[in-house]
Homo-oligomer: A and B are copies of this chain.
């Protein structure tokens, strides 16, 4: 039997023989990195994913790992019996399941809302039954188009509940509300992370996010598209930092009645990001400007004081370093594109 290197300090203070993590959305961008990190520390992982927006290659890389199991499942539907049967062994439930980029989550807004609300509730009930700890990946979108900078967790946000982003933003706010109600009632130990922009390998090239868009356009020699005048700011966190933050939050012995921002507070304009991408790739393609999407936030920057204080966590990977690794990964991905298309044709 495998040596137990990561005893689980569960709510009952016992050491579990093997920590079993349910990771909903585990085939997605951040989810796939989290699954790998959990496997690397010796845990077992049961990954649930619809594969609706996840890249199949993320999953293929994980399926080769020991202690990994995948079940194709939509969390807005009741959990399958094989998951419920495992409840006595489940120690951690992670909810990373929801398309996160506007073109993806706006494709079926009803499903986006139900994934966030009903899906989160199914996983909270699983955590309650299993006496497992639950972590929700919420989002900086709960702050909407913020009027204060940087955003701390007690800022209540400036979100339109009537616009086209509401299915995601309000879905996540409702999911948070549910999680904290479980916590207040003592039904489950919960952790809520508000994730700010994250980038790195395993992003979906067609995700419509500014980092992946610009890198892929530059690598393909396409026009570089910038929404608005590019003066809006973002703060980009490298994915390994984000996963370390999520794991620190899940394992922290805190009361869990407050959300915790996770992100990189280094703020830059989209134009500055563009400059980095041009420098890294050497592209000479022209830059074209497109209209800003409805309700697009002007500025976004996390105040991570709470994460620093509670988790002793802060991002370590500098933007230049992270972008270089991301460009290298995308270059490899795009290089395999025509071959894959040829093989399929």
The residues of B that contact A180 with a CB separation of less than 8 Å are 162-163, 166
Interface size on A, residues (CB 8 A): 36
B residues less than 8 Å from A181 (CB atoms): 109-110, 113, 164, 166-167
Closest Cβ neighbor of A116 among chain B residues: B174
Cα(A110)–Cα(B121), bound, Å: 8
Chain B residues whose CB sits within 8 angstroms of the CB of A121 once the complex forms: 110, 113-114
Q: Once the chains bind, are B259 and A162 in contact (CB under 8 Å)? A: yes
Q: How far is the CA of A144 from the CA of B167 in the complex (A)?
A: 19
The CB with the most chain B CB atoms within 10 A, among A118, A144, A166, A181, is that of A181
Chain B residue with Cβ nearest A168: B177
A19 to chain B, nearest CB (A): 27
Q: Which of A59-67, A82-90, A153-161, A272-280 contacts B (4 or more CB under 8 A)?
A: A153-161
Q: Residue A174 contacts which of B160, B163, B174, B184 (CB distance < 8 angstroms)?
A: B174
A177 touches B184 (CB 8 A): no
Q: Is the CB of A144 within 8 A of B161?
A: no
Bound state CA distance, A257 and B174, in angstroms? 22
Evaluate contact between A167 and B162: CB separation under 8 angstroms: no
Residue of B nearest to A161 (CB): B173
A170 interface hit (Cβ, 8 Å): yes
A171–B171 Cα distance when bound, in Å, is 9
Contacting residue for A166 out of B118, B167, B177, CB 8 A: B177
Nearest residue, chain B, Cβ from A165: B177
How far apart are the CA atoms of A177 and B144 in the complex, in Å? 14
A158 CB to closest chain B CB (Å) equals 5
A107 to chain B, nearest CB (A): 11
Question: Are the CB atoms of B117 and A174 closer together than 8 Å?
Answer: yes
- Can you identify 23 A-B contacts, CB atoms within 8 angstroms? A109-B185, A110-B121, A113-B117, A113-B121, A113-B178, A114-B121, A117-B117, A117-B174, A144-B156, A156-B157, A156-B159, A156-B160, A157-B159, A157-B161, A162-B176, A162-B180, A166-B173, A166-B176, A166-B181, A170-B173, A170-B174, A170-B176, A173-B173
11 new A-B pairs (CB below 8 Å) besides A161-B174, A170-B170, A170-B176? A110-B178, A110-B182, A117-B174, A118-B118, A142-B161, A144-B156, A156-B157, A157-B161, A159-B173, A170-B173, A173-B173
